[in-house]
Amino acid sequence: MAYSTYQNLIGGEWVAARGGKTVLNLNPANSDDVVGAFPSSTAEDVDLAVKAARKAFTTWRLVPAPRRAEVLLRAGIRLQERKEHFAREMTREMGKVLAETRGDVQEAIDEAFYVAGEGRRLFGVTTPSELGNKFAMSVRMPVGVVGLITPWNFPMAIPSWKLFPALVAGNTCVIKPALDTPLSTYNLVQTLVDAGLPPGVVNIVCGTGPDVGAALVEHPEVRAISFTGSSAVGSLVGQRAAATFKAVSLEMGGKNAQIVMDDANLDLALDGALWGAFGTTGQRCTATSRILLQKGIAAEFTEKLVERAAKLRVGDGLDESVEVGPQINAQQLETSARYLAIALDEGAEILTGGRALADGTYARGTFFEPTVLGGVKPDMRIAREEIFGPVVALLEFDTFDEAIGMANSIDYGLSTAIYTKDVNRAFAAIRDLESGITYINAPTIGAEVHLPFGGVKHTGNGHREGLGALEFFTTWKAVYVDYSDKLQRAQIDNAE
């Protein structure tokens, strides 16, 4: 089957990796379908991209922010026009169903329009000076060259979360897309170029984490790193970036809990559980991987969830009737199988699913059955460690306080949900759940671009995408204008 060969984008030019190596991007639903060949780059390619970004920064930072925003506005309009095409290409390379890849592109569209508005809202602060005939204010300044490292599960949405606010703030970028899903990032950046983005403002270097990601993190001319990925890799990113005093934004893993109280609307909670656990084949940092059931409804809820999960149709995401696509690659498939073995060894029970699908139409893909585990206890690894697959664990509790403690007992803190009709409990959950996101009567997945996105504990280091992104991609400068025509010494003369 014929396929295209792609190159790095450096300084506005498409160029092959200096080492000449490429890697094939395969459709996880059908390994015979080659999406394309992409560069396998090295630190030399990263250095060229950083130098190009540094050169472009000298002029891009001087473009008025509203004019920078107009590029994003035009890009958003073009993304709308190309949405279906980009969604289909994303399903080929990532596997999730078309309804979800359309949503992924839509999220980039939403981000473009949202951040375009921020071009006229990069507000500083003016404040009275403590001295006479003196004016005091603060302004936002761009950081410089920023490095962006993005994951494979949202290969257009997450790059847009990082690229768009970085650009409107006046930074230039080097982005390393996930090697499993580079085409969607290429499509996003090409759309920016078509919308009038100047050469060198965004550069793409494709390759592995050790070869490209590490070089980007350690490069002395990169002033900030925004990373989304696993907690283990994020820890290394943070440590290595500290050596050159880089600002670092880390958005990492989750082990998200949906709490279902006795008074919940069970049909609604079931809908939320199915979508939260098996949407994107469970391959979301916000996926519902634990469902905490109050004992009064546990048996009924479990029976209905197992029945509905067993009926979910697994297959190629390009088929509109399919509800659950493949896992991204063989490694993720093996991870799901390994955790199922651990769960059984610890005493959990497989209520439905539990195996890879490898026969017939599944033979050339990486498919895993939607899986529900019962008999899970809070101290089991299956209840504490991220799997990133279509596997959900059911736990039972007696009281509201027990549920909150159970939900908080893990190392992660990204997303939580509670289903209840009791407004008092809902607000207590908002206050007490240790997570960056809490949903009331809705599943743990489904973020909106204009709210802060991120978590606590091993999930993140305090920065946020969405509402908080401009805080990360700008630095504050305090400005004092003294028009007294004499020396005034703050704190010293003010005390007289």
- Which tens digit of pLDDT belongs to each residue from 366-381? 999 999 999 999 999 9
In this structure, the number of other CB atoms found within 10 A of the CB of residue 494 comes to 12
Residues 206 and 277 in one domain: no
Residues 344 and 394 in one domain: yes
In the three-class reduction of DSSP (H, G, I as helix; E, B as strand; rest coil), residue 335 is classed as helix
Instruction: Specify whether 343 is located in the same domain as 245.
Output: no
| 120 found inside a domain | yes
Helix 157-168 × helix 182-194 angle, to 10°? 40
Say if residue 473's pLDDT is above 80: yes
Residue 451 located in a structural domain: no
Mean pLDDT score, 458-479: 97
Does 91 lie in the same domain as 56? Answer: yes
Residue indicated by tokens 């050790």? 210
Count Cβ atoms below 10 Å from residue 367 Cβ, excluding itself: 26
pLDDT greater at residue 112 or residue 495: 112
The one-letter amino acid at 138: S
Could you tell me the pTM of the whole model?
Answer: 0.97
The enclosing domain of 406 has a CATH number of: 3.40.309.10
159-183 as b/e, with b when 16 or more CB fall inside 10 Å? bbbbbbbbbbbbbbbbbbbbbbbbb
**Same domain assignment for residues 316 and 243:** no
The enclosing H or E element of 438 equals strand 437-440
Is position 2 within any domain?
no
CA separation for the pair 69, 73 (Å, rounded): 6
The predicted model gives 437-447 an average pLDDT of 97
Is residue 239 scored above 90 in pLDDT?
Answer: yes
At residue 349, does pLDDT exceed 90? yes
Give tens-digit pLDDT for 240-263: 999 999 999 999 999 999 999 999
What pLDDT is recorded for position 494?
Answer: 75
Q: Is residue 290 part of a domain?
A: yes
Task: Say what the pLDDT of residue 493 is.
Answer: 85
Domain region containing 308: 256-440
The H or E element that residue 187 is part of is: helix 182-194
Characterize the bridge pairing of strands 288-294 and 391-397: parallel
d(CA 314, CA 475): 47
Could you tell me the two tokens for 487?
């020396």
Does residue 78 sit in the same domain as residue 177?
yes
- In the chain, the number of structural domains is 2
Q: Are residues 151 and 172 in the same domain?
A: yes
Q: Are residues 78 and 110 in the same domain?
A: yes
| pLDDT value for 128 | 97
- What average pLDDT does the chain have? 97
Q: Are residues 307 and 383 in the same domain?
A: yes
Residues with catalytic annotation?
251, 285
Instruction: Give 1's pLDDT tier (boundaries 50, 70, 90).
Output: low
User: Does residue 491 lie in a domain region?
Assistant: no
